[in-house]
Amino acid sequence: MVYHIPALLDESIEGLNIRSDGIYVDVTFGGGGHSMEILKRLTTGKLVAFDQDEDARLNAPDDKNLIFLNQNFRFLKNNLIYNGIKSIDGLIADLGVSFHQFDEPERGFTFRSDAPLDMRMSKSSSLTAASLIQTLDESMLADIFYNYGELTNSRKLAREIITARKEKPVVTTYDLVSVISRLAPKKQEHKFYAKVFQALRICVNHEIEYLKEMLMQALDVLCSGGRLVVITYHSLEDRVVKNFMRTGNFEGTVKKDFYGNPETPFRLIARRGITPGADEITRNNRARSARLRVAEKI
């Protein structure tokens, strides 16, 4: 089984502008696709790779230039300091879920297989999608579906789940699909279920909060001229990355100096972002929603 096929591989590696003696970080090691390409270009340089999924460790090569850390990227700065690294020349993040996680039914990431409602990217975490579904009240569930799935019928969704769980626990992916199926728009069922599952996954793994933490730390550790390279797969995370690269904050508010000149910590390399071409989408359909953004620290 293929662990993961990285989207926009050539474009993202080019965006890093790698020096053979530089220090780079891959905060989403996964199947190692990006990391392997970075390592090919290093002689005396170092690559620090993070991945919170225990399974990813099996993909780490025995390479003198690699430091692999089975950690969430929210602990970026502390781990770099622990390894004697004060600044880096580039950081890459390929966000979202790997093929491996989607294709292992027992992980519960997809509505296409019947499995426990798990959705944890790190098995060491105690919070699962099932525990959210079974314990949160209507208002909190509705907020999750609205904020993280951008679902306009979030209140109805939450009410349907609350009603159903009084009769029978909603603990598997098929349980959930069965409960919400009557609310799915005709001919758009798969898109609807994908948004519901996305919302729960983001909440379980604190994806938006941890992304923001990592980006702030990346700004601290990147040297002047260092590159920040991020691949996103949905509008929520892309908005966070876009605002941060453009303004240095997550609201997208442009701050100006005394003379009215905009203050920003980055120079945008790909102003509108880069998306896969038709050939890549044909080879790897899962790359269709990918968007690459690149910025250089001033």
Residue 64 sits at the vertex; the CA angle it makes with 7 and 73, to the nearest 5 degrees, is 45
Q: Which long-range contacts link 257-265 to residues 24+ away (Cβ below 8 Å)?
A: 264/298, 265/219, 265/297, 265/298
Q: Where exactly are the structural domains of the chain?
A: 9-99+207-297, 126-204
Counting Cβ atoms within 10 Å, is residue 78 exposed (0-12), middle (13-18) or buried (19+)? exposed
pLDDT tens string 44-72: 999 999 999 888 999 999 999 999 999 99
At residue 119, the pLDDT reads: 95
Q: What is the mean pLDDT of the segment spanning 207-222? A: 98
Q: What is the pLDDT of residues 223-261, one digit of tens each?
A: 999 999 999 999 999 999 999 999 999 999 999 999 998
CATH no., domain 126-204 = 1.10.150.170
Q: Is 1 a residue whose pLDDT tops 50?
A: no
DSSP code at position 204: H
Q: Evaluate whether 167 touches 242 at the Cβ level (below 8 Å).
A: no
CA terminus-to-terminus distance, the chain: 42
- Residues 142-159 pLDDT 10s: 999 999 999 999 999 999
Please check the confidence at residue 139 and state whether its pLDDT lies above 70.
Answer: yes
CATH class of the domain at 9-99+207-297: alpha beta
Mean pLDDT for the stretch of residues 165-171:
97
